[in-house]
Amino acid sequence: MRTTLSEETGVWRLRGSKMFTTLAREATHIVVGCLVPGESSWRERFALAVVPADIHGLVMSRLEIDSLRSCPTYEVFLDDVAVAEGSVIKPPDAFRVLIDVLNQERVAVASQSLGLARRALQLTMAYVEQREVAGGLLADKQVVGHRLVDCWEEFESARLLVREAAQAVDRGERSGVLPTMSQRCAATMAHGAADLGVQLHGGGGLERGTELNRLWRDTRLHLIGPVAREEATDRLFRYMRSSFR
Protein backbone atom coordinates (compact mmCIF):
# COMPACT_ATOMS: atom_id res chain seq x y z
CA MET A 1 0.00 0.00 0.00
CA ARG A 2 1.51 3.29 -1.10
CA THR A 3 -1.38 5.75 -0.84
CA THR A 4 -0.62 8.28 1.88
CA LEU A 5 -2.66 10.57 4.08
CA SER A 6 -0.85 13.47 5.69
CA GLU A 7 -1.93 16.53 7.61
CA GLU A 8 -0.60 19.76 6.16
CA THR A 9 -1.45 23.10 7.73
CA GLY A 10 -4.64 21.72 9.22
CA VAL A 11 -5.85 19.92 6.07
CA TRP A 12 -5.67 16.14 5.44
CA ARG A 13 -4.34 15.29 1.95
CA LEU A 14 -4.53 12.00 0.07
CA ARG A 15 -1.93 11.03 -2.52
CA GLY A 16 -1.67 7.79 -4.45
CA SER A 17 -3.71 5.45 -6.57
CA LYS A 18 -5.74 2.24 -6.32
CA MET A 19 -5.72 -0.24 -9.16
CA PHE A 20 -9.08 -1.98 -8.64
CA THR A 21 -11.97 -0.03 -7.13
CA THR A 22 -15.26 -1.70 -7.97
CA LEU A 23 -18.24 0.55 -8.70
CA ALA A 24 -16.15 3.69 -8.07
CA ARG A 25 -17.94 5.70 -10.76
CA GLU A 26 -21.35 4.45 -9.66
CA ALA A 27 -20.69 5.33 -6.00
CA THR A 28 -21.30 8.71 -4.35
CA HIS A 29 -18.36 8.21 -1.93
CA ILE A 30 -15.19 6.11 -1.93
CA VAL A 31 -13.48 4.69 1.15
CA VAL A 32 -9.72 4.85 0.69
CA GLY A 33 -7.30 2.69 2.69
CA CYS A 34 -4.08 4.67 3.21
CA LEU A 35 -1.04 5.14 5.45
CA VAL A 36 -0.22 8.05 7.73
CA PRO A 37 3.48 9.02 8.01
CA GLY A 38 5.67 7.14 10.50
CA GLU A 39 8.16 4.35 11.01
CA SER A 40 5.86 1.76 12.60
CA SER A 41 4.25 -1.22 10.81
CA TRP A 42 1.58 -0.57 8.19
CA ARG A 43 -1.12 -1.89 10.55
CA GLU A 44 -0.22 0.79 13.09
CA ARG A 45 -0.29 3.48 10.39
CA PHE A 46 -3.39 2.29 8.53
CA ALA A 47 -6.15 4.89 8.14
CA LEU A 48 -9.42 5.14 6.22
CA ALA A 49 -10.60 8.27 4.44
CA VAL A 50 -14.09 8.76 3.01
CA VAL A 51 -14.15 11.06 -0.02
CA PRO A 52 -16.94 12.12 -2.40
CA ALA A 53 -16.39 10.37 -5.76
CA ASP A 54 -16.55 13.71 -7.60
CA ILE A 55 -14.06 15.56 -5.39
CA HIS A 56 -11.34 17.72 -7.00
CA GLY A 57 -8.13 15.73 -7.57
CA LEU A 58 -9.82 12.32 -7.85
CA VAL A 59 -9.70 10.82 -11.34
CA MET A 60 -10.71 7.31 -12.42
CA SER A 61 -10.46 5.16 -15.51
CA ARG A 62 -12.44 2.00 -16.21
CA LEU A 63 -10.53 -1.28 -16.45
CA GLU A 64 -11.60 -3.80 -19.08
CA ILE A 65 -11.98 -7.03 -17.08
CA ASP A 66 -13.45 -10.31 -18.35
CA SER A 67 -15.33 -11.12 -15.11
CA LEU A 68 -18.45 -9.57 -13.56
CA ARG A 69 -18.74 -6.97 -16.31
CA SER A 70 -22.05 -5.76 -14.88
CA CYS A 71 -20.09 -4.61 -11.83
CA PRO A 72 -17.31 -2.46 -13.38
CA THR A 73 -14.02 -1.75 -11.68
CA TYR A 74 -11.75 1.28 -12.02
CA GLU A 75 -8.26 2.54 -11.39
CA VAL A 76 -8.54 5.56 -9.11
CA PHE A 77 -5.90 8.30 -8.88
CA LEU A 78 -5.72 10.65 -5.91
CA ASP A 79 -3.76 13.82 -6.49
CA ASP A 80 -3.61 15.98 -3.38
CA VAL A 81 -7.23 15.27 -2.49
CA ALA A 82 -8.34 17.33 0.52
CA VAL A 83 -10.20 15.25 3.14
CA ALA A 84 -12.47 16.69 5.83
CA GLU A 85 -11.29 15.96 9.40
CA GLY A 86 -14.59 14.20 10.21
CA SER A 87 -14.12 11.86 7.23
CA VAL A 88 -10.95 10.21 8.51
CA ILE A 89 -10.77 7.08 10.68
CA LYS A 90 -7.30 7.20 12.18
CA PRO A 91 -5.04 4.44 13.51
CA PRO A 92 -5.52 2.20 15.43
CA ASP A 93 -9.34 2.21 14.94
CA ALA A 94 -9.10 1.96 11.14
CA PHE A 95 -7.47 -1.48 11.19
CA ARG A 96 -10.26 -2.88 13.41
CA VAL A 97 -12.86 -1.47 11.01
CA LEU A 98 -10.97 -3.04 8.10
CA ILE A 99 -11.02 -6.50 9.68
CA ASP A 100 -14.77 -6.31 10.33
CA VAL A 101 -15.47 -5.15 6.78
CA LEU A 102 -13.19 -7.83 5.28
CA ASN A 103 -14.98 -10.59 7.17
CA GLN A 104 -18.36 -9.35 5.94
CA GLU A 105 -17.01 -9.02 2.41
CA ARG A 106 -15.67 -12.61 2.45
CA VAL A 107 -19.09 -13.98 3.36
CA ALA A 108 -20.82 -11.76 0.78
CA VAL A 109 -18.43 -12.89 -1.96
CA ALA A 110 -18.84 -16.53 -0.90
CA SER A 111 -22.61 -16.08 -1.21
CA GLN A 112 -22.11 -14.64 -4.68
CA SER A 113 -20.10 -17.75 -5.60
CA LEU A 114 -22.95 -19.93 -4.35
CA GLY A 115 -25.44 -18.12 -6.59
CA LEU A 116 -23.18 -18.39 -9.63
CA ALA A 117 -22.62 -22.11 -8.95
CA ARG A 118 -26.32 -22.84 -8.51
CA ARG A 119 -27.09 -21.22 -11.86
CA ALA A 120 -24.24 -23.14 -13.56
CA LEU A 121 -25.63 -26.40 -12.16
CA GLN A 122 -29.17 -25.52 -13.30
CA LEU A 123 -28.02 -24.77 -16.86
CA THR A 124 -25.90 -27.91 -17.00
CA MET A 125 -28.68 -30.16 -15.66
CA ALA A 126 -31.09 -28.77 -18.28
CA TYR A 127 -28.51 -29.36 -21.01
CA VAL A 128 -27.59 -32.97 -20.13
CA GLU A 129 -31.30 -33.84 -20.05
CA GLN A 130 -31.70 -32.88 -23.70
CA ARG A 131 -28.31 -33.40 -25.39
CA GLU A 132 -27.88 -36.73 -27.15
CA VAL A 133 -24.31 -37.96 -27.64
CA ALA A 134 -23.19 -41.39 -28.83
CA GLY A 135 -26.70 -42.81 -28.98
CA GLY A 136 -28.10 -41.56 -25.68
CA LEU A 137 -28.75 -38.61 -23.41
CA LEU A 138 -25.73 -37.20 -21.60
CA ALA A 139 -27.80 -37.49 -18.40
CA ASP A 140 -28.02 -41.28 -18.87
CA LYS A 141 -24.25 -41.71 -18.90
CA GLN A 142 -23.09 -42.81 -15.46
CA VAL A 143 -19.84 -40.87 -15.54
CA VAL A 144 -21.76 -37.64 -16.21
CA GLY A 145 -24.19 -38.29 -13.34
CA HIS A 146 -21.36 -39.09 -10.93
CA ARG A 147 -19.50 -35.87 -11.76
CA LEU A 148 -22.68 -33.84 -11.33
CA VAL A 149 -23.40 -35.43 -7.96
CA ASP A 150 -19.83 -34.63 -6.83
CA CYS A 151 -20.51 -31.03 -7.80
CA TRP A 152 -23.88 -30.90 -6.06
CA GLU A 153 -22.36 -32.33 -2.87
CA GLU A 154 -19.57 -29.73 -3.00
CA PHE A 155 -22.22 -27.05 -3.51
CA GLU A 156 -24.22 -28.16 -0.44
CA SER A 157 -21.04 -28.44 1.68
CA ALA A 158 -19.97 -24.93 0.66
CA ARG A 159 -23.49 -23.62 1.37
CA LEU A 160 -23.39 -24.97 4.94
CA LEU A 161 -19.92 -23.52 5.52
CA VAL A 162 -21.00 -20.10 4.21
CA ARG A 163 -24.05 -20.20 6.51
CA GLU A 164 -21.81 -21.05 9.47
CA ALA A 165 -19.45 -18.18 8.57
CA ALA A 166 -22.36 -15.74 8.19
CA GLN A 167 -23.67 -16.71 11.63
CA ALA A 168 -20.19 -16.20 13.15
CA VAL A 169 -19.97 -12.71 11.60
CA ASP A 170 -23.51 -11.91 12.82
CA ARG A 171 -22.50 -12.97 16.35
CA GLY A 172 -19.71 -10.39 16.15
CA GLU A 173 -16.84 -12.89 16.04
CA ARG A 174 -13.76 -11.18 14.69
CA SER A 175 -11.77 -14.24 13.62
CA GLY A 176 -11.28 -14.36 9.86
CA VAL A 177 -10.99 -18.16 9.76
CA LEU A 178 -14.57 -19.13 8.87
CA PRO A 179 -15.15 -16.20 6.47
CA THR A 180 -11.86 -16.92 4.67
CA MET A 181 -12.49 -20.68 4.57
CA SER A 182 -16.04 -20.21 3.31
CA GLN A 183 -14.92 -17.86 0.57
CA ARG A 184 -12.09 -20.16 -0.52
CA CYS A 185 -14.36 -23.20 -0.49
CA ALA A 186 -17.25 -21.50 -2.33
CA ALA A 187 -14.96 -19.94 -4.95
CA THR A 188 -13.24 -23.26 -5.71
CA MET A 189 -16.56 -25.09 -5.84
CA ALA A 190 -18.21 -22.45 -8.07
CA HIS A 191 -15.46 -22.40 -10.66
CA GLY A 192 -15.43 -26.21 -10.62
CA ALA A 193 -19.19 -26.27 -11.24
CA ALA A 194 -18.96 -23.76 -14.10
CA ASP A 195 -15.99 -25.62 -15.57
CA LEU A 196 -17.86 -28.93 -15.52
CA GLY A 197 -20.75 -27.12 -17.21
CA VAL A 198 -18.43 -25.86 -19.95
CA GLN A 199 -17.04 -29.38 -20.40
CA LEU A 200 -20.48 -30.97 -20.71
CA HIS A 201 -21.69 -28.27 -23.10
CA GLY A 202 -18.81 -29.23 -25.38
CA GLY A 203 -17.71 -26.58 -27.90
CA GLY A 204 -20.83 -24.55 -27.09
CA GLY A 205 -19.49 -24.02 -23.56
CA LEU A 206 -16.69 -21.89 -24.98
CA GLU A 207 -19.01 -19.70 -27.00
CA ARG A 208 -18.76 -16.09 -25.91
CA GLY A 209 -22.07 -14.47 -25.03
CA THR A 210 -23.68 -17.62 -23.64
CA GLU A 211 -24.79 -17.53 -20.01
CA LEU A 212 -22.70 -20.51 -19.04
CA ASN A 213 -19.55 -19.06 -20.58
CA ARG A 214 -20.18 -15.85 -18.64
CA LEU A 215 -20.58 -17.83 -15.40
CA TRP A 216 -17.27 -19.58 -16.13
CA ARG A 217 -15.49 -16.20 -16.45
CA ASP A 218 -17.35 -14.71 -13.47
CA THR A 219 -16.53 -17.61 -11.14
CA ARG A 220 -12.84 -17.34 -12.16
CA LEU A 221 -12.59 -13.93 -10.50
CA HIS A 222 -13.19 -15.23 -6.99
CA LEU A 223 -10.06 -17.40 -7.16
CA ILE A 224 -8.10 -14.12 -7.55
CA GLY A 225 -10.08 -11.43 -5.72
CA PRO A 226 -10.93 -10.07 -3.24
CA VAL A 227 -8.20 -12.36 -1.95
CA ALA A 228 -6.11 -14.73 -4.09
CA ARG A 229 -6.74 -18.39 -3.30
CA GLU A 230 -3.07 -18.94 -2.41
CA GLU A 231 -3.05 -16.00 -0.01
CA ALA A 232 -6.22 -17.27 1.68
CA THR A 233 -4.67 -20.73 1.94
CA ASP A 234 -1.50 -19.29 3.49
CA ARG A 235 -3.58 -17.53 6.15
CA LEU A 236 -5.58 -20.65 6.91
CA PHE A 237 -2.44 -22.76 7.15
CA ARG A 238 -0.90 -20.29 9.62
CA TYR A 239 -4.02 -20.69 11.76
CA MET A 240 -3.95 -24.47 11.32
CA ARG A 241 -0.34 -24.68 12.53
CA SER A 242 -1.19 -22.84 15.73
CA SER A 243 -4.48 -24.60 16.44
CA PHE A 244 -3.38 -28.21 15.75
CA ARG A 245 -0.41 -28.08 18.14
Q: Which residues bind ligand FAD (CB under 6 A)?
A: 20-22, 65, 67-68, 73, 221, 224-228, 230-231, 234
Which is nearer to ligand FAD, 93 or 230 (by Cβ)? 230
* Continuous segment of H or E residues that includes residue 12: strand 11-22
Which is nearer to ligand FAD, 139 or 223 (by Cβ)? 223
Q: Shortest distance, CB of residue 210 to ligand FAD, whole angstroms?
A: 20
Q: Shortest distance, CB of residue 71 to ligand FAD, whole angstroms?
A: 7
Which is nearer to ligand FAD, 33 or 91 (by Cβ)? 33
Which is nearer to ligand FAD, 124 or 188 (by Cβ)? 188
- Give dist(CA 111, CA 109) in Å, integer: 5
For 74-137, the DSSP string reads EEEEEEEEEE-GGGEE-TTHHHHHHHHHHHHHHHHHHHHHHHHHHHHHHHHHHHHTT-EETTEE
Which is nearer to ligand FAD, 185 or 221 (by Cβ)? 221
Q: Which residues pair with 97 in a beta bridge?
A: none
Name the pairing type of β-strands 11-22 and 73-83.
Answer: antiparallel
CB-CB contact of 13 with 19 (8 Å): no
3-state secondary structure of 82: strand
Q: Shortest distance, CB of residue 142 to ligand FAD, whole angstroms?
A: 35
Q: Shortest distance, CB of residue 227 to ligand FAD, whole angstroms?
A: 6
Give Cα 244 to chain centroid, integer Å.
28
Q: Shortest distance, CB of residue 176 to ligand FAD, whole angstroms?
A: 14
Q: Shortest distance, CB of residue 245 to ligand FAD, whole angstroms?
A: 22
Which is nearer to ligand FAD, 76 or 138 (by Cβ)? 76
CB-CB contact of 39 with 46 (8 Å): no
Residues 6 or more apart from 145 whose CB is under 8 A from it?
139
